[in-house]
């Protein structure tokens, strides 16, 4: 299904300032992702995957290059415009779940709606719907510590969905989960993608990446392969 362009990145670089000088974590990345795609970002530790996801999620700014998110030039936006674009377009899921420990699951899920200025009754209703969506409707008033890691990740996914984003960015969402629980979480991502949500998911596990329909591989801050799942790996630089 060829959809509209959600992400268009060109010549993107990111260098970190370190005590030893500038460290180039991304060295010129080009990538286009269309609406409805399901992309796994792979590559060894330190290859730049999280740096790239943080730029896609507008959590950090690139050193140079262009990023067009949902038709808007990210570099040209004022901070409040960028926050608004991010809030309505993107849902984030992290490896560590990042739930607030003293808040109920319902309040955790509703949190992005507070920032979006939605009133309390509507927030409650939407948060409950999302908890039901991920199979945790009965736990709305529980604290995160009362549920398992897999359930906590479901809550984090519910929180990511609560603003009805068209894009989910997930950085190693199964990194802290056993393989059975990982499969359940991946089944949920698969359902969301079939409902039309674009998914970009970092993993270094081939079993997890297999759920995606496209696999992009990073090495030393550049993309070294980009292929449909199931296709033989072929380095970008080599002729056919
Ligand atoms: N805030 C930072 N300051 C300095 N170096 C960083 C910072 N974040 C990441 N790096 C370095 O950038 C490289 C890429 O990191 P990262 O994007 O986290 O890789 P990955 O997610 O693929 O493991 C690594 O060498 C890492 O040490
Ligand atoms: Mg990482």
> Residue with the nearest Cα to atom 7 of ligand 1?
16
Mean pLDDT for the chain?
93
Please give the pLDDT value at position 157. 96
What does the pLDDT read at residue 138?
96
**Residue 172 CA, closest ligand 1 atom number:** 21
Cα(173) to centroid of ligand 2, in Å? 11
In order, the DSSP letters of the chain are ----EEEEEEEEEEEEEETTEEEEEEEEEEEEEETT-EEEEE--TTSSHHHHHHHHTTSS--SEEEEEETTEEGGGS-HHHHHHHHHHHEEEEETT----TTS-HHHHHHHHHHHTT--HHHHHHHHHHHHHHTT-GGGTTS-GGGS-HHHHHHHHHHHHHTT--SEEEEESTTTTS-HHHHHHHHHHHHHHHHTT-EEEEE-S-HHHHTTSSEEEEEETTEEEEEEETTSPP--TTS--
- Nearest ligand 1 atom to alpha carbon 218: 22
- Give residue 75's pLDDT: 92
Task: Take atom 4 of ligand 1 and give the residue whose Cα is closest.
Answer: 16
pLDDT recorded at residue 3 = 79
Q: Which residues line ligand 1 (CB under 6 A)?
A: 16, 18, 23, 25, 43, 45-51
Query: Which ligand lies nearest the alpha carbon of 218?
Result: 1
Domain boundaries, the chain: 5-94+166-228
Instruction: Tell me the pLDDT tens digit for each residue of 48-64.
Output: 999 999 999 999 999 99
Q: Determine the residue of 15, 16, 22 to mutate for testing ligand 1's pocket, defined as the one with the most ligand atoms within 8 A of the Cβ atom.
A: 16
Q: Please name the residue whose Cα sits nearest to atom 16 of ligand 1.
A: 48
Q: Quick one: pLDDT band at residue 1, thresholds 50, 70, 90?
A: very low
For 97-155, write each residue's pLDDT tens digit: 899 999 999 999 999 998 888 999 999 999 999 999 999 999 999 999 999 999 999 99
Atom of ligand 1 nearest to the CA of 18: 4
Q: In 3D, which of 99, 98, 96, 95 has the Cα closest to residue 203? A: 95
pLDDT bucket at 33, cuts 50 / 70 / 90: very high
- pLDDT tens track for 22-31: 999 999 999 9
Superfamily name with CATH number, domain 5-94+166-228: P-loop containing nucleotide triphosphate hydrolases (3.40.50.300)
């Amino acid at each position: 299904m060829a959809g509209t362009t959600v992400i268009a990145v060109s010549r993107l670089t990111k260098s970190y300032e370190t005590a030893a000088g500038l460290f180039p974590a991304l060295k010129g990345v080009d990538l286009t992702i269309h609406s409805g795609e399901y992309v796994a970002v792979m590559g060894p530790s330190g290859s730049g995957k999280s740096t790239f996801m943080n730029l896609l999620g507008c959590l950090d700014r690139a050193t140079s290059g262009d990023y067009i998110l949902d038709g808007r030039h990210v570099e040209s936006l004022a901070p409040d415009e960028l926050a608004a674009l991010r809030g309505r377009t993107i849902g984030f899921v992290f490896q560590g779940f990042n739930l607030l420990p003293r808040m109920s699951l319902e309040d955790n899920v509703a949190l992005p709606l507070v920032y979006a200025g939605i009133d309390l009754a509507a927030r409650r209703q939407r948060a409950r719907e999302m908890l039901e969506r991920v199979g945790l409707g009965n736990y709305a008033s529980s604290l995160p510590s009362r549920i398992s890691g897999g359930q906590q990740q479901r809550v984090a996914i519910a929180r990511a969905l609560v603003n009805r984003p068209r894009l989910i960015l997930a950085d190693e969402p199964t990194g802290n989960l056993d393989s059975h629980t990982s499969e359940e979480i991946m089944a949920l991502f698969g359902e969301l993608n079939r409902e039309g949500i674009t998914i970009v998911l970092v993993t270094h596990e081939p079993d997890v990446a297999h759920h995606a329909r496209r696999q992009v591989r990073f090495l030393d801050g550049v993309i070294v392969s980009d292929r449909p799942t199931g296709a033989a790996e072929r380095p970008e630089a080599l002729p056919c």
